[in-house]
Amino acid sequence: MTLTVGSSFVDLGGFNVALNLASAAAKRHAVHASDGMLPRLAVAAAGLWLVILFGLTLIGR
């Protein structure tokens, strides 16, 4: 993530896109390589976060 954010501050021309795509591929590989509980935990956390956001939206009305 640091590489992706850092590349946004440095003007590398078209190389920024290639660098960010390579960074995304590395992140995907890291998550895909861990076939244990991490991907399931990430999906569960995302679902819980959506429930919280929808709940806060409905409470604010």
Q: Per-residue pLDDT for 7 more than 90?
A: no
Q: What is the mean pLDDT of residues 55-59?
A: 87
Report in angstroms the alpha-carbon separations of 56 from 30, 35, 48, 60.
33, 33, 12, 6
The position carrying tokens 């244990």 is 36
Q: Is the pTM of this model over 0.85?
A: no
Tell me: the pLDDT tens digits for 13-47? 878 888 888 888 888 877 776 667 777 888 899 99
Residue 58 to residues 10, 18, 55, Cα–Cα distance (Å): 41, 41, 5
